[in-house]
Amino acid sequence: MSGISRREARECALKNIYAFSIAGTDNPGDFFELNCAEQEIASDDFSYELYMKTVLHFEDIDKLIEENSKGWKISRISKISLAILRMCICEFLYFDDIPGQVSMNEAVELAKKYDDDDAPSFVNGVINAVYKGLKK
């Protein structure tokens, strides 16, 4: 696994979380390795750890998304926005060394890059609500 920037690592994790959520396979670790190879996605230890912690905690993370997405069912959220939300919330929950603001900024930037024009404000609203709830 090569040395890549944190932003590139997040993009790698995001692409794999997104693909994994669609593929519905049983082995997330093997899926990551195979998908990175097939898609020629650079990865590192951080991208793998972020991906694994996110996919292994979909259930807990999705509860937080549903509680904080005001009238939106998980099934109505675009798959890419859902992957971004899951990854950001995973950082809040399982990566104490990453400031919440950094995770939020990265999530909004990824939404701008990978989803439609409404996605960044939706993602921002949900993650802000989750973050405030977790801080209490």
Residue 96 belongs to a domain with what CATH number? 1.10.940.10
Question: Are the CB atoms for 17 and 24 separated by under 8 Å?
Answer: no
Residue 16: how many other CB atoms lie within 10 Å: 30
pLDDT in tens, 16-52: 999 999 997 889 999 999 999 999 999 999 999 999 9
| Structural domains counted in the chain | 1
pLDDT in tens, 85-111: 999 999 999 999 999 999 999 999 999
- Establish if 1 belongs to a structural domain: no
- Establish if 53 belongs to a structural domain: yes
SS3 116: coil
